[in-house]
Chain A
Amino acid sequence: MSATADLIRLEKVTCAYRSEPVLVNVDLAVPTGAFIGVVGPSGSGKTSLLRVVTGALRPVAGTVSFPSGPIAIGYVPQVETVNWYFPVTVREAVLMARLDGRRVPWSSREERDEADGVLARLGLESLGGRHIRELSGGQQQRVFIARALLRRPKLLLLDEPTSGVDVRTRHEVVHLLHELHHDGLAILVTTHDLNGLAAHLPELVCLNREVIATGSPRKVLNPSVLERTYGAPMEVLTHGGMPVVVETAPTTVVPLREEHHEHPA
């Protein structure tokens, strides 16, 4: 992949909230058609990395560039952050993303047709008038992917799309992301889910404030990289040709009873 085909490039990017660094010297390039997963523990800077890409978080050092020129970016937040009791129907939620052009509150026929087209593409065509809370977990995730797609993005960002969802929903999301990638969309996705999502992606970035390793799941999902990323020992098995990460049980557990004996009442 030539460097000029990069949609976005981060070079030596450092970010901080007040004086606390959240990203340190991060280099990352997202080429056209890439499908990259960002893995790391809580607080490792995954969401901050997405915020840098969207421009919501400005680096204190380093550069963010768009070698192919400005691009539309679609952003799908964590579903845990969504206010499910907000009074919006599925169609209203999707049409929120259409900010260009018309300044009047109501949508044009073209906008409604386009929103219905995106909803149909994601299998939500009959749900446009339903409240977002009334949908299943997979349908709710797809509503927010539909909203991002209505911006006609070249790059889709997803923050923990399989967090807190059941196995079936996770399969639906993974399948949908692969379809969108197959259609030519570049995707950058953060995840805690090493086996359910990260292991199925073409490329991973292991992040813990700084980039620990990049490469295919087979390359980076190994005990050494994972321990440096998560700060805890992990084993990696192989099942059906796929890496499977297993947490290693701590060896120095202090039984509660012993602790009690050390501090008699």
Chain B
Amino acid sequence: MSTLLEPFHSGFFVNAMAIGTMAGALCGLVGVYVVLRGMSYIGHGLSHAITGGAIASFVMHINFYVGAGIWGFVSAMMINRVARRRIIGADAAIGVVTTASFAVGIALISRGHGFTRNFESALFGSILGVTGADLAIVGGVILAVAAIIFFTYRRLLFTTFDPEVAEASGVNTDRIDSLMAFILAGTIVVTMNFLGVLLVAAALVIPAVIARMLTDSFSKMLWMSVVIGALSGAVGIYASWFLNIASGPAIVLTSAALFVVTYAFTGARSMRRLRTADAHL
């Protein structure tokens, strides 16, 4: 028993557990909209784009959260704009914007600006050195995202389900799209250090997909996804201590295991519900 509780004697681990749980919950909340709006590929691409922004911020001595946040929001808005013109598809727009943005970061690294030693932890996530400021920032973003979703719940739901009729019913769908881009960029920026650039998209998608397998109600899916995300974060961080693996893979493998268990118990019936999400897995 004392072995199981051993990690909690470390202040570093308690901070890591808190940040993992909060990051998982935040990704679970935002992931519902990402999955149902078919934005999973945007989530994946944005994490790469924001890496470019993070490196550029480092080189220009700008605060990571400010620089990467602005970079991510601008990238998301550019994807929206290019895709809306319908000359090229959204997937191609994501490919152009995010890879170009990522390439900027790689180019800066190749110029030898000293970011290389942190690159592995950026890719796979690290909970080393989680500070009180990190906890406050992730907590603040959770509160802000929750407040935005709370007060725009009906418009967000309507736009997610049926953008054409929502627009015809007086919803400013352009504003809702921008709001979603802002929320998604903010979520990726504050969680990518702990989950990893390559894995943050999985943390967004998997809890929402599991929740979708369990319910046909949107409101239930929302809170289920938050709980599954938080649980994956907490269990993943705990497992990473004993297995001595990076935090990002541990969290994602935990949620992937939950997906397998859910599938085993709910079977084909739940898979039928996933037709909206299967393209993003």
Contact = CB atoms under 8 A, between A and B. Distances in A.
B216 A89 contact: yes
Q: Which of B171, B219, B272, B274 has the most CB of A within 10 A?
A: B219
Nearest to B159: A96
Interface in B113-159: 150-151, 153-155, 157-158
B153 A83 contact: no
Contact of B219 (A92, A103, A157): A92
B217 A87 contact: yes
B18 to A, nearest CB: 27
B273 A87 contact: yes
A88 B153 contact: no
Interface residues on A, range: 20 to 34
Contacts of A104: 150-151, 153
Given A87-B217, A88-B218, A96 B154 contact: yes
Contact of B276 (A54, A85, A131): A85
B164 A87 contact: no
Contact of B168 (A55, A81, A89, A131): A55
Given A89-B217, A105-B153, A99 B158 contact: yes
Contact of A99 (B36, B169, B276): B169
Q: Which 7 A-B pairs have the closest CB atoms?
A: A54-B168, A105-B153, A131-B216, A75-B168, A85-B275, A85-B276, A96-B158
Interface of A: 51, 54-56, 73, 75-77, 81-83, 85-89, 92-93, 96-99, 103-105, 131, 147, 151, 157
19 contacts: A51-B168, A56-B167, A56-B168, A75-B169, A76-B165, A81-B162, A82-B162, A85-B275, A85-B276, A86-B160, A88-B217, A88-B218, A92-B217, A92-B218, A96-B162, A99-B155, A103-B151, A105-B153, A105-B154
